[in-house]
């Protein structure tokens, strides 16, 4: 949802009145939880969260809808929580797309610059992007993004914004992200049945990157791995733009399943042990440390060496990093990411994860959560909420570039609001 109420004061600060320009909504539909966030964007570009709903998700497996009714109920529960806190009624939102069906490719397009003055116009850029988009993609795939990576103006490479430049020929290199059409349709159906329109579908790894990467890291070359419950989203950035996007079908639930099997306990107990006592570094565990393991069917507990728990976790997390490394190899950027790998997502918070990643991948690895937002951020400024907060940041950037009137919504008890000329001046 995006709400415009003119240039109305939203809050008071030390500098005086802060003008609220728009209200954005993000819905992150994940394997383990659905997150709905409502954020205010002010004229200075700051983002304040004013509503949140974070119920446990049902009806999804590895980021893909497997039960329509359960997924709709989860989305509605998240929406209701966010609406109660904010006082707004959600009408449309930026929605994340996960699942290992999300893939990417890069494509180039070239056009002759039109117009008598031979200056690159927005129309020329759009035409070049459309040419680049016209690549062969199977009919069962749906394009999510066509993102310009860079431009070539009359043979001059490395141009970031060619608008207004004198030229005869314009080329653009784009990053195209696409997904299974049926998976996207099922997700869309769930959101629509929850009475929410979709402003834009955003690939989850790109949303997470929006929340945790710096401009410097993007320019140097960096990868971000969003380790969720069912999947791990991966996005590579080089020269400030996305180069490769993929989602791997492995995540924190795989670790939990291994713990349950290895220690012969149920999934609830295995998850609790993983969170409370888990580590991906067996060498950090004292030899005499033990954990209590619930015996299946008995309810009673027994003890097991904590080192055994750590070895199970380390084995599965090592496999995850090996698969991340294989995906980086597939993108052709092994050893060409000076800023290394940034880990985020709930499962990245396991102790020893960054150290294991550095050992396996032989590159810098750090764990990061979202930053740069205020308001109702209790428990939100952690890696587990990077995708949902990244969706808000993605939306804030999108409304800057969109046409006036594209997004519209209504505050609870109020009338329909529309974007006007402030869109172009949102971030002065």
pLDDT of residue 20: 53
Rounded mean pLDDT of 39-49?
84
Domain boundary among 344, 368, 392: 368
User: Is pLDDT of 10 > 80?
Assistant: no
Both 80 and 118 in one domain: the answer is no
Report if residue 98 sits inside a domain.
Answer: no
pLDDT of residue 5: 31
Both 224 and 161 in one domain: the answer is no
pLDDT of residue 356: 97
Report if residue 96 sits inside a domain.
Answer: no
Both 357 and 296 in one domain: the answer is yes
pLDDT of residue 64: 94
How does residue 378 score in pLDDT terms, banded at 50, 70 and 90?
A: confident
Question: What is the C-alpha to C-alpha distance for residues 39 and 49, in angstroms, rounded to an integer?
Answer: 4
- Least confident piece of the model among 27-31, 54-58, 370-374, 387-391: 370-374
> Tell me: the pLDDT tens digits for 213-224?
999 999 999 999
User: Is pLDDT of 404 > 90?
Assistant: no
- Asked if 43 and 21 touch (Cβ cutoff 8 Å), the reply is yes
Domain count for the chain? 3
User: Is pLDDT of 386 > 50?
Assistant: yes
pLDDT of residue 299: 63
DSSP helix/strand/coil, 224: strand
- Least confident piece of the model among 13-27, 117-131, 319-333: 13-27
How does residue 297 score in pLDDT terms, banded at 50, 70 and 90?
A: confident
- Asked if 330 and 243 touch (Cβ cutoff 8 Å), the reply is no
- Give the chain's mean pLDDT: 87
User: Is pLDDT of 333 > 50?
Assistant: yes
Report if residue 401 sits inside a domain.
Answer: yes
Both 58 and 17 in one domain: the answer is yes
Both 239 and 342 in one domain: the answer is yes
CATH number of the domain where residue 337 is located: 3.30.420.40
CATH number of the domain where residue 167 is located: 3.30.1490.110
Rounded mean pLDDT of 180-192?
97
Rounded mean pLDDT of 364-380?
89
Both 262 and 358 in one domain: the answer is yes
How does residue 377 score in pLDDT terms, banded at 50, 70 and 90?
A: confident
Rounded mean pLDDT of 45-72?
93
Rounded mean pLDDT of 297-323?
91
pLDDT of residue 1: 45
Alpha helices in 139-199 (DSSP H): 181-193
Q: CA nearest 331: which of 404, 222, 417, 421? A: 222
Both 84 and 122 in one domain: the answer is no
Both 57 and 119 in one domain: the answer is no
User: Is pLDDT of 111 > 90?
Assistant: yes
CATH number of the domain where residue 387 is located: 3.30.420
pLDDT of residue 21: 67
Rounded mean pLDDT of 46-59?
93
Both 227 and 357 in one domain: the answer is yes
Rounded mean pLDDT of 76-103?
94
pLDDT of residue 204: 97
Rounded mean pLDDT of 163-171?
92
Report if residue 200 sits inside a domain.
Answer: no
Expressed as residue numbers, the domain containing 29 is 8-91+372-425
DSSP helix/strand/coil, 415: coil
User: Is pLDDT of 345 > 60?
Assistant: yes
pLDDT of residue 398: 75
Question: What is the C-alpha to C-alpha distance for residues 88 and 82, in angstroms, rounded to an integer?
Answer: 8
Rounded mean pLDDT of 12-27?
60
Both 40 and 166 in one domain: the answer is no
Both 280 and 301 in one domain: the answer is yes
- Least confident piece of the model among 40-49, 104-113, 224-233, 387-396: 40-49
Both 358 and 389 in one domain: the answer is no
Angle 384-64-47 (CA atoms, 0-180°, nearest 5)?
Answer: 40
51-67: burial string, b at 16+ Cβ within 10 Å, e else: bbbbbebebbebbbbee
Q: Give one DSSP letter per residue of 15-47, joined into a string.
A: TEEEEEEEEEEEEEE-SSBEEEEEEEEETTS-E
- CB burial class (10 A; 0-12, 13-18, 19+) of residue 84? exposed
pLDDT of residue 385: 95
Report if residue 344 sits inside a domain.
Answer: yes
Report if residue 359 sits inside a domain.
Answer: yes
User: Is pLDDT of 110 > 80?
Assistant: yes
- Asked if 40 and 57 touch (Cβ cutoff 8 Å), the reply is no
- Least confident piece of the model among 120-124, 359-363, 406-410: 406-410
Report if residue 51 sits inside a domain.
Answer: yes
Report if residue 256 sits inside a domain.
Answer: yes
Q: CA nearest 278: which of 386, 366, 376, 352? A: 352
């Amino acid at each position: 949802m995006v709400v415009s109420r003119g240039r109305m004061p939203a809050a008071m600060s030390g500098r005086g009145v802060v003008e609220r320009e728009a209200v954005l909504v993000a819905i992150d539909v994940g394997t383990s939880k659905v997150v709905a966030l409502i954020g205010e964007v002010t004229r200075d570009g700051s983002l304040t969260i004013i509503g949140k709903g974070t119920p446990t998700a049902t009806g999804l497996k590895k980021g893909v809808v497997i039960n329509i009714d359960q997924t709709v109920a989860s989305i509605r529960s998240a929406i209701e929580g966010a609406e109660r806190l904010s006082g707004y009624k959600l009408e449309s939102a930026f929605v994340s797309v996960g699942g290992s069906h999300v893939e990417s490719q890069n494509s180039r397009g070239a056009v002759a610059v039109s117009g008598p003055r031979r200056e690159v116009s927005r129309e020329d850029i759009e035409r070049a992007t459309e040419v680049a988009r016209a690549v062969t993609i199977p009919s069962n795939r749906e394009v999510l993004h066509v993102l310009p990576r860079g431009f070539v103006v009359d043979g001059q490479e490395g141009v970031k914004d060619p608008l207004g430049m004198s030229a005869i020929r314009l080329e653009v290199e784009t990053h195209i992200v696409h997904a299974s059409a049926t998976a996207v349709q099922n997700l869309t159906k769930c959101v629509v049945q929850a009475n929410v329109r979709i402003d834009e579908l955003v690939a989850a790894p790109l949303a997470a990157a929006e929340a945790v990467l710096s401009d410097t890291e993007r320019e140097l070359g960096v990868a971000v791995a969003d380790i969720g419950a069912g999947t791990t989203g991966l996005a590579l950035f080089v020269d400030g733009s996305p180069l490769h996007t993929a989602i791997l079908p492995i995540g924190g639930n795989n670790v939990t399943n291994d713990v349950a099997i290895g220690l012969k306990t149920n999934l609830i107990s295995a998850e609790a042990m993983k969170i409370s006592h888990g580590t991906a570094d067996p060498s950090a565990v004292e030899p005499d440390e033990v954990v209590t393991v619930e015996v299946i069917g008995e309810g009673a507990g027994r003890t097991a060496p904590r080192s055994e728990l750590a070895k199970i976790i380390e084995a599965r997390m090592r496999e995850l990093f090996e698969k991340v490394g294989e995906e980086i190899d597939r993108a052709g950027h092994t050893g060409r990411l000076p800023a290394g790998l940034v880990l985020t997502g709930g499962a990245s918070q396991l102790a020893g994860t960054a150290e294991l990643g550095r050992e396996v991948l032989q590159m810098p690895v750090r764990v990061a959560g979202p930053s740069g937002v205020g308001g109702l951020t209790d428990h939100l400024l952690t890696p587990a909420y990077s995708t949902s907060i990244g969706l808000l940041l993605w939306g804030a950037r999108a409304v800057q570039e969109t046409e006036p009137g594209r997004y519209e919504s209504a505050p609870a008890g109020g009338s329909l609001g529309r974007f006007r000329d402030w869109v172009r001046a949102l971030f002065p």
